[in-house]
């Protein structure tokens, strides 16, 4: 298994993929954190869906995590695209046959791929966290936000919790992308279906029948990143996410193990 | 049901069949490939060569029948694939990675030493272009990289699907020499190609397919012996060809005019009689010779395909 992980990391660390991902994550992290701090008190709000976050709220122990939490869903979408393309491209390039000749245990190939992408996702989350927190400190003065509580023990605990939640959220979106990649065997189709479902269809469904939001995969993945909400609890989202991903993983694992590699 | 072969057999199949829907891609294929030899795998496009190779590599499962590779059942590819090198349906690599990085991915995956990569790139003539991205490679370079990847495990069995595709004449010569040298060191090479003349030159044995069925399996020499040699007669004047055909037909043999010569299916010792009959008819033959049919001719004769 470790051989598969090392081989997959070799593909993931290629400059074009690594630099473009880091650049995207860096830009998004910078953008969201800047909006939170530079638009304090502005009309139209500075948080998610127009929510207004005051300087006093930003001065709490959770203040430095607003940007990090805001960028969480987008980290998930980046992971969805990366995981889907890394999986489906094996079919479009015809490289799957090489992989399976060199490592015929198909479940090891799949597990190794997932572990390597997990490492990639963890690096992405840590990078986003570093950017958003550094920028929060840099912009705190401009927004007249006190940072004294940001380094307290409680703040460190909240940071660990937020990092874990955003990591679970990112990984859930990524695994969703990987499942789509294995089902569609085409990066373009897998990414298109994943992004359209998450950004458009779930929004429309949630707006038309609000009760569905509680059961939609993307909404629940995002809710984990936010640590739960008043409408949907963290535990509920974790359970729904687990059900979706276990079922999806089971289906694609059986398909991947049994399907002929004929391309 | 094939019995587990001894160490003198590299590949053995028994009744191997693959059916897609209502179409049999391979039907009841039974053949063996002796260890340490170069065996050619010949057949027109769509005859089932790649399907067979994919089954031997554990990529697709047979509908029925059985096969052993290096003494192991094909249902357990993990038992023999670490000793098998393969290039299937041309090279397939990651375009954004360099040739060397692509090989390192496969070396990591198979647990082979990374030091093999530089050595193999040199061996296939890509030493100077190893750091270039795969997408910048010519077809010939891609093919060479595919061969290098197949050699990564230092294989006991090498399976190559059309290895000379896209190579220039010197590249084809190099691949031919490489295959010969591997066979000399004890590697079994199972090579498919549409260049029948190419296989005739390097293969000791052959497996021939047509429409998913094995139509010949055995030594190349046996195949060549299967067809009677031809007498080739060239009259001094091309206008005499028709008269010459008449003489051959009257003697009860068949013939075919190819360019300005006549190919006659008759016993070689009839040449003297032909020469005398032609002289009596006032025809001067500028040449009369015996020609062994090429593998290609034999193949087309057996498969019934028009040349």
Q: Do A101 and B57 lie within an 8 Å CB cutoff?
A: yes
Q: In this predicted model, what pLDDT tens digit does every residue of B64-81 receive, in sequence order? A: 999 999 989 998 999 999
In this prediction, residue A149 has a pLDDT band, given cuts at 50, 70 and 90, of confident
Q: Which residue has the tokens 């005398």?
A: B276
Identify the residue among A102, A103, A105, A113 best suited for mutation to test binding to B, counting B beta carbons within 10 A and taking the highest. A102
- Which token pair is A259? 């399907």
Residue B65 and residue B110 in one domain: yes
In a domain, B92, yes or no: yes
Q: Is the ipTM of this complex over 0.90?
A: no
In a domain, B305, yes or no: no
B59 contacts in chain A (CB < 8 Å)? 97, 100-101, 260-262
In a domain, B145, yes or no: yes
Domain boundary among B205, B222, B239: B222
Identify the residue among B99, B105, B146 best suited for mutation to test binding to A, counting A beta carbons within 10 A and taking the highest. B105
In a domain, A221, yes or no: yes
Kindly report the CATH number assigned to the domain that includes residue B193. 3.40.50.300
Bridge-based pairing state of the strands B205-210 and B254-258: unpaired
- Which token pair is A9? 């990391």
Residue B21 and residue B78 in one domain: yes
Which carries the bigger pLDDT value, residue B186 or residue B198?
B186
Query: What's the mean pLDDT in A73-89?
Result: 91
Residue B99 and residue B243 in one domain: no
In a domain, A100, yes or no: yes
The burial class, CB within 10 Å (0-12 / 13-18 / 19+), for A149 is: middle
Residue B13 and residue B68 in one domain: yes
Q: Is the pLDDT of residue A227 over 90?
A: no
Distance from the Cα of A166 to chain B's closest Cα (Å) equals: 30
CA distances from B201 to B45, B178, B205, B208, B221 (A): 21, 13, 11, 16, 11
Q: Do B57 and A98 lie within an 8 Å CB cutoff?
A: no
Query: What's the mean pLDDT in B207-227?
Result: 80
Domain count, chain A: 1
User: What is the pLDDT, as a whole number, of residue B306?
Assistant: 45
Residue B134 and residue B238 in one domain: no
Highest average pLDDT, of B174-183, B265-274, B295-304, comes from B265-274
Q: Do B109 and A93 lie within an 8 Å CB cutoff?
A: no
Q: Do B92 and A7 lie within an 8 Å CB cutoff?
A: no
pTM for this model (two decimals): 0.80
- Cα angle B15, B20, B23 (rounded to 5 degrees) comes to 80
In a domain, A263, yes or no: no
Residue B251 and residue B279 in one domain: yes
User: What is the pLDDT, as a whole number, of residue A156?
Assistant: 92
Residue B205 and residue B182 in one domain: yes
Sequence-ordered strand ranges (E) for B139-253: 157-161, 188-192, 205-210, 213-219, 230-235
In this prediction, residue A14 has a pLDDT band, given cuts at 50, 70 and 90, of confident
Domain boundary among B222, B246, B277: B222
In this prediction, residue B260 has a pLDDT band, given cuts at 50, 70 and 90, of confident
In a domain, B185, yes or no: yes
Q: Which domain holds residue B186?
A: 9-222
Q: Do B59 and A260 lie within an 8 Å CB cutoff?
A: yes
Residue B161 and residue B186 in one domain: yes
Q: Is the pLDDT of residue A80 over 90?
A: yes
Q: Which chain B residue's Cα is nearest to A96? A: B92
Residue B214 and residue B237 in one domain: no
Kindly report the CATH number assigned to the domain that includes residue B278. 3.30.70
Domain boundary among B165, B191, B222: B222
In a domain, A157, yes or no: yes
Q: How many CB pairs under 8 A join A and B?
A: 77
Residue B146 and residue B187 in one domain: yes
In this prediction, residue B219 has a pLDDT band, given cuts at 50, 70 and 90, of confident
* Alpha-carbon gap, residue A8 to A17, rounded angstroms: 13
In this prediction, residue A161 has a pLDDT band, given cuts at 50, 70 and 90, of very high
CA distances from A75 to A37, A47, A111, A222, B283 (A): 20, 17, 22, 10, 89
Q: Please check whether residue A108 is in contact with residue A4, taking contact to mean a CB–CB distance below 8 angstroms.
A: yes
The crossing angle, in degrees rounded to 10, of helices A15-38 and A106-140 is 40
Distance from the Cα of A83 to chain B's closest Cα (Å) equals: 16
Q: Please check whether residue B155 is in contact with residue B35, taking contact to mean a CB–CB distance below 8 angstroms.
A: no
Residue B49 and residue B188 in one domain: yes
Q: Quick count: other Cβ atoms within 10 Å of Cβ B305?
A: 10
In a domain, B1, yes or no: no
Domain count, chain B: 2
In a domain, B234, yes or no: yes
A3 contacts in chain B (CB < 8 Å)? 108-111
Sequence-ordered strand ranges (E) for chain B: 9-20, 23-34, 38-42, 64-69, 72-73, 84-87, 157-161, 188-192, 205-210, 213-219, 230-235, 254-258, 261-265, 285-291
Q: Which domain holds residue A243?
A: 2-258
Q: In this predicted model, what pLDDT tens digit does every residue of A230-243 receive, in sequence order? A: 888 999 999 999 99
In this prediction, residue B298 has a pLDDT band, given cuts at 50, 70 and 90, of low
Q: Please check whether residue A124 is in contact with residue A78, taking contact to mean a CB–CB distance below 8 angstroms.
A: yes
Residue B250 and residue B146 in one domain: no
């Amino acid at each position: 298994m470790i051989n598969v992980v090392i081989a997959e990391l070799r593909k993931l660390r290629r400059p074009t993929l690594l630099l473009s991902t880091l650049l995207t994550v860096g830009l998004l992290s910078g953008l969201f954190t800047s909006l939170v701090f530079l638009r304090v008190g502005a009309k139209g709000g500075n948080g998610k869906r127009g929510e207004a976050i005051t300087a006093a709220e930003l001065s709490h122990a959770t203040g430095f995590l607003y940007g990090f939490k805001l960028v969480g869903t987008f980290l998930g979408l980046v992971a969805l695209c990366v995981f889907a393309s890394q999986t489906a491209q094996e079919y479009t390039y015809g490289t799957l046959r090489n992989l399976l000749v060199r490592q015929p245990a198909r479940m090891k190939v799949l597990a190794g791929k997932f572990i390597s992408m997990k490492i990639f996702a963890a690096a992405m989350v840590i990078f986003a966290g570093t950017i958003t927190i550094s920028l929060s400190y840099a912009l705190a003065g401009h927004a007249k936000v006190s940072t004294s509580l940001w380094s307290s023990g409680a703040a460190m605990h909240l940071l660990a919790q937020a990092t874990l939640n955003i990591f679970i959220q990112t990984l859930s979106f990524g695994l969703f992308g990987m499942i789509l990649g294995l089902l569609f065997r085409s990066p373009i189709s897998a990414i298109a279906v994943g992004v359209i479902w998450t950004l458009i269809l779930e929004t429309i469904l949630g707006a038309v029948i609000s009760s569905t939001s509680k059961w939609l995969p993307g909404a629940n993945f995002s809710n984990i990143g936010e640590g739960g909400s008043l409408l949907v609890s963290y535990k509920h989202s974790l359970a729904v996410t687990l059900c979706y991903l276990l079922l999806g993983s089971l289906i694609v694992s059986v398909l991947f193990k049994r399907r002929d590699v004929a391309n | 049901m094939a019995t587990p072969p001894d160490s003198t057999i590299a590949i053995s199949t028994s009744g191997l069949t693959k059916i897609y829907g209502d179409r049999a891609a391979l039907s009841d294929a039974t053949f063996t490939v002796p260890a340490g030899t170069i065996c050619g795998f010949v057949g027109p496009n769509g005859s089932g060569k790649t399907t067979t190779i994919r089954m031997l590599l554990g990529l697709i499962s047979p509908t029925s029948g059985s096969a052993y590779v290096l003494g192991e059942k094909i249902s357990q590819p993990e038992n023999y694939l670490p000793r098998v090198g393969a290039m299937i349906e041309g090279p397939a690599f990651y375009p954004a990675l360099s040739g060397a990085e692509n090989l390192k991915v496969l070396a990591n995956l198979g647990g082979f030493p990374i030091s093999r990569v530089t050595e193999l790139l040199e061996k296939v003539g890509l030493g100077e272009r190893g750091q270039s991205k795969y997408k910048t490679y010519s077809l010939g370079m891609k093919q060479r990289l595919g061969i290098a990847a197949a050699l990564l495990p230092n294989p006991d069995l090498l399976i190559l699907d059309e290895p000379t595709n896209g190579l220039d004449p010197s590249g084809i010569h190099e691949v031919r020499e490489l295959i010969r040298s591997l066979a000399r060191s004890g590697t079994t090479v199972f090579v498919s190609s549409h260049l029948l003349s190419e296989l005739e030159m390097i293969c000791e044995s052959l497996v021939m397919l047509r429409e998913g069925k094995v139509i010949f399996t055995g030594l190349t020499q046996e195949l060549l012996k299967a067809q009677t040699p031809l007498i080739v007669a060239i009259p001094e004047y091309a206008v005499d060809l028709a008269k010459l055909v008449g003489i051959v037909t009257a003697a009860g043999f068949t013939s075919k005019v190819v360019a300005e010569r006549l190919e006659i299916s008759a016993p070689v010792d009839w040449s003297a009689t032909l020469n005398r009959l032609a002289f009596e008819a006032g025809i001067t033959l500028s040449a009369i010779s015996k020609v062994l049919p090429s593998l290609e001719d034999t193949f087309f004769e057996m498969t019934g395909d028009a040349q």
